[in-house]
């Protein structure tokens, strides 16, 4: 290089610093969505926080391998889904015991949802309906529950859900249709 040239070759340390800053930005941007998905899936604040941390730890470890074939959110959601599956597979019985003890109260969950109701009676009815929906969602199969939550809680499109779960668009649609049908059937009996 000629004397006085400002450009220097990028060192490995400099590249790592840039990658760490990129990951830090991605983590800060998408942490709320990952946490919200895991919280709505598990309905356990502590467990959702733990799984969110585990998701971002795995993402950080594999950040260099992220190829950008999907959005960072889709990639992180896929990791979150896998972390959740691993947790349920390894601790299925313990999970259900803890859920009953530490579960988010239905009243608290209804506060997350916007309410345009004005009277206390209407608010009580809305909380009861939310409670029934959560109970119906709890009875869905794991895959149906995941697809349902990604669609209606995270408001992801079918193609995004397919990429995040590794399923085809048609399979996602089928699971979503079955999930919605089961929830509607169960809610029909609650009127």
Would you give the distance in Å from CA 187 to the centre of its chain? 24
Res 88: pLDDT: 79
Q: What is the pTM of this model?
A: 0.55
- Cα distances from 78 to residues 19, 147, 151, 160, 166, in angstroms, run 21, 12, 14, 10, 8
Q: For CA atoms 82, 94, 131, 30, give the dihedral sign.
A: negative
Res 15: pLDDT: 54
Question: Hunting for tokens 């971002």 — which residue is that?
Answer: 56
Q: Are residues 185 and 158 in the same domain?
A: yes
Evaluate whether residue 7 is within a structural domain. Answer: no
C-alpha angle 166-171-175 in degrees, rounded to nearest 5: 110
Question: Hunting for tokens 């959005």 — which residue is that?
Answer: 71
Check which CATH number belongs to the domain holding 173 and give it: 1.10.10.10
Evaluate whether residue 111 is within a structural domain. Answer: yes
Q: Are residues 17 and 99 in the same domain?
A: yes
Q: Are residues 95 and 110 in the same domain?
A: no
State the residue range of the domain holding 28.
Answer: 13-103
How many C-beta atoms lie closer than 10 Å to residue 186's C-beta? 16
Q: For CA atoms 38, 40, 43, 46, give the dihedral sign.
A: positive
Instruction: Mark which of 103, 118, 144 sits at the end of a domain.
Output: 103
Residue 53 near residue 143, CB atoms below 8 Å: no
Q: Are residues 119 and 180 in the same domain?
A: yes
Q: Report the residue count for the chain.
A: 191
Positions in the chain whose pLDDT score sits under 70: 1-21, 91-119, 189-191
Evaluate whether residue 8 is within a structural domain. Answer: no
Question: Hunting for tokens 């590794």 — which residue is that?
Answer: 166
Check which CATH number belongs to the domain holding 94 and give it: 1.10.1740.10
Q: Are residues 39 and 66 in the same domain?
A: yes
């Amino acid at each position: 290089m000629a004397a006085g040239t400002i450009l220097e070759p990028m060192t490995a340390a400099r590249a790592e610093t840039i990658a760490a800053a990129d990951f830090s930005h991605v983590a800060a941007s998408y942490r709320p969505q990952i946490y919200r998905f895991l919280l709505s899936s598990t309905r356990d604040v502590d467990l959702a926080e733990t799984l969110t941390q585990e998701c971002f730890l795995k993402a950080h470890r594999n950040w260099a391998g992220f190829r950008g074939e999907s959005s960072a959110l889709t990639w992180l959601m896929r990791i979150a889904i896998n972390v959740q599956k691993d947790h349920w597979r390894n601790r299925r019985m313990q999970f259900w015991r803890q859920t009953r003890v530490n579960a988010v109260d239905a009243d608290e969950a209804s506060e997350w949802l916007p309410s345009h109701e004005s009277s206390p009676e209407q608010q009580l009815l809305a909380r009861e309906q939310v409670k029934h929906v959560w109970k119906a969602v709890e009875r869905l199969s794991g895959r149906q529950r995941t697809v349902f939550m990604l669609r209606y809680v995270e408001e992801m499109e079918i193609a995004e859900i397919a990429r995040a779960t590794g399923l085809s668009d048609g399979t996602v649609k089928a699971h979503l249709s079955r999930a919605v049908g089961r929830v509607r059937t169960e809610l029909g009996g609650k009127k």
